[in-house]
Amino acid sequence: MTTSTLAPTTPATTGERVLPPLRIGRHVIDSPVVLAPMAGITNRAFRRLCREAGDAGLAASGLTGASSLYVNEMVTSRALVERTPESMRLIEHDEDERPRSVQLYSVDPATTGAAVRMLVTEDRADHIDLNFGCPVPKVTRKGGGAALPWKRDLFRGIVSAAVTEAARADVPVTVKMRKGIDDEHLTYLEAAQAAVEEGVAAVALHGRTASQAYSGQADWSAIKLLKETITSVPVLGNGDIWSAEDALAMVEQTGCDGVVVGRGCLGRPWLFADLAAAFAGAEVRVTPTLGEVKDTLRRHAELLTDFYAGDELRACRDIRKHIAWYLKGFPAGSTVRNQLALVDSLAALDRLIETMDPTSPWPGAAAEGQRGRAGSSRVVALPENWLASRELDEDQRAQVAAAEQSVADGG
């Protein structure tokens, strides 16, 4: 894929590396960058697009999206153990995708262990990440995601179960978390220390609380403090990385060992090539024309069609949410944008994107900055009496057991 106005035959000139390769257990990730799992986004199709990203000039220097680590969208442990068709499809990887990374959500240690055992004994994953950062109400109200580290025993139990089972095949386990539930109930330092004691290979921190969701600014000072506290495994920073320059700034300000990128890559799969270049000390960046963006959009739709087993309608329904992100800042016209939001076939997509001027240059600042909905801060939905104690009581044990099944059922 070529998605840049950079000279296609001139290798990028690199300077001194900003960071060494990221080591997660037995895996060495040349570009210290991780794609954050995003529901409905980081499926096999999008991950492939990110891995392919980069222009010929960057590729000649080995600076492409292929050198980062890509985590699939979150899968619930219970659904995986029950082998629901959707969960089995979500953990699919391309033949050439390595390491194969799976993120699990769970509120039950036994189910976590069973899910990890399945993944490693059936050789379905090379790396497992545990989700302790999701702020979505339907997750936190059941004691999961960013709410879970508040319960020390439950948190340790889940991490321990995952690490024990994964160790049988030398598969590293990492954790991704937030600062805590809100500013009065912070958990990240204690949880990270517990996770390291249980044997995780790395810890990633999104510098927001669950209460903040995606609003306001990420607190990079928390990432700095975590890095100063945790010294035996890599610490990764997450939050407000919209460009390669943001990633460099985070590393400089926090000392983190790598970065986790989420919303910043929406409609910009080539961001991972930018990040590879930046961490290698190169100043070049991918600046695609509208024509090249159109090609990327079309490629994305093709990959989604394959992901959905040839179902063009489902693929087009999926690609609709990406349209505004891809076209941000470009002079595409409101009529075409509105029609693209209703596209129902690849042929219809082709007709619409053909009307846009392929020579329109990268719009610069107009295409940069925040992507995705920021929302606003809120009171976190939690199970009854969740904050009364740092340990589970009997009622809460029953609640989380039922919640594990409920989430697996889509509730």
Map residue 400 onto helix, strand or coil. Answer: helix
**Averaged pLDDT, 65-89:** 94
**DSSP, res 376:** -
| Contact predicate 190/223, CB 8 Å | no
Closest CA to 49 of 371, 272, 360: 272
Say whether both 150 and 239 belong to one domain. yes
Amino acid at 357: D
For residue range 146-194, list pLDDT tens digits in order. Answer: 999 999 999 999 999 999 999 999 999 999 999 999 999 999 999 999 9
Give the span between the Cα atoms of 143 and 153, in whole angstroms: 13
Q: How far apart are CA 177 and CA 207, in angstroms?
A: 9
Question: Last residue of a domain, which of 253, 270, 286?
Answer: 286
Q: Largest Cα–Cα distance in the chain? A: 65
By percentage, how much of the chain surpasses pLDDT 90?
Answer: 81
pLDDT of residue 404: 66
Cβ neighbors of 401 (< 8 A, separation 6 or more) are 107, 108
- Residue 317 sits in the same domain as residue 281: no
- Together in a domain, 77 and 91: yes
Whether residues 202 and 112 share a domain: the answer is yes
> In whole angstroms, what is the distance from residue 57 CA to residue 13 CA?
9
Q: Mark whether 109 and 133 lie in a shared domain.
A: yes
Structural domains in the chain (count): 2
Residues 313 and 221 in one domain: no
Are 163 and 263 in the same domain? yes
Q: Please report where in the chains the tokens 């990440």 appear, as a residue.
A: 129
Residue numbers of the domain that contains 105:
22-286
Question: Three-state SS for 101?
Answer: strand
Structure token digits, residue 19: 């960071």
Report the half-sphere exposure of 154 (CA within 13 A, side-chain side). 29
Active site residue 134: yes
Nearest to 6 by CA among 314, 277, 326, 252: 277
pLDDT exceeds cutoff 60 at 98:
yes
Domain match, 81 and 192 both: yes
Q: Looking at per-residue confidence, does 231 or 392 come out higher?
A: 231
* Cβ atoms of residues 319 and 296 within 8 Å: no
* Nearest alpha carbon to residue 183 among 212, 154, 203: 212
* Half-sphere exposure in the Cβ direction for 135 (13 Å, CA): 23
Q: Does residue 192 fall inside a structural domain? A: yes
pLDDT higher than threshold 60 for residue 226:
yes
Same structural domain for residues 48 and 69?
A: yes
Question: Which pLDDT band, with edges at 50, 70 and 90, does 406 fall under?
Answer: low
Averaged pLDDT, 7-19: 62
Does one domain contain both 182 and 278? yes
Strand ranges in 7-111 using DSSP code E only, listed in sequence order:
22-24, 27-29, 33-35, 69-70, 75-76, 101-105
**What is the rounded distance in angstroms from the CA atom of residue 255 to the CA atom of residue 259?**
11
The pLDDT tens digits of the residues spanning 241-285 come to: 999 999 999 999 999 999 999 999 999 999 999 999 999 998 888
Residue showing tokens 């240059």: 361
Cα–Cα dist 125/119, whole Å:
6
Residue 190 lies in a domain: yes
The answer to whether 161 and 170 are in contact (CB under 8 A) is no
Report residue 9's pLDDT band, with 50, 70 and 90 as the boundaries: very low
> What's the token pair of residue 18?
């900003």
The pLDDT value given to residue 190: 98
Residues 270 and 341 in one domain: no
Decide if 186 is inside a domain: yes
> Do residues 265 and 286 lie in contact, with contact meaning Cβ atoms separated by under 8 Å?
no
CATH code of the domain containing 60:
3.20.20.70
Amino acid identity of residue 276, one-letter, is A
User: Which residues make beta-bridge pairs with 104?
Assistant: 75, 130
Give the whole-angstrom CA distance, residue 27 versus residue 71: 14
DSSP at 272: H
Report the DSSP beta bridge partners of residue 173.
128
Dihedral angle sign, alpha carbons of residues 302, 89, 316, 238: negative
The yes-or-no verdict on residue 343 having pLDDT over 70 is yes
pLDDT on residue 7:
32
Residue 61: per-residue pLDDT:
58
Choice between 253 and 56, residue whose per-residue pLDDT is larger: 253
| Active-site position among 50, 134, 265, 316 | 134
Quote the CA–CA distance of 119 and 372 in Å, as a whole number: 31
Task: Supply the DSSP symbol for 233.
Answer: S
Alpha-carbon distance 286 to 296, whole Å?
Answer: 13
pTM listed for this prediction: 0.92
Segment 211-222 mean pLDDT = 96
Considering only residues 345 and 57, tell me which one the structure prediction assigns the higher pLDDT.
345
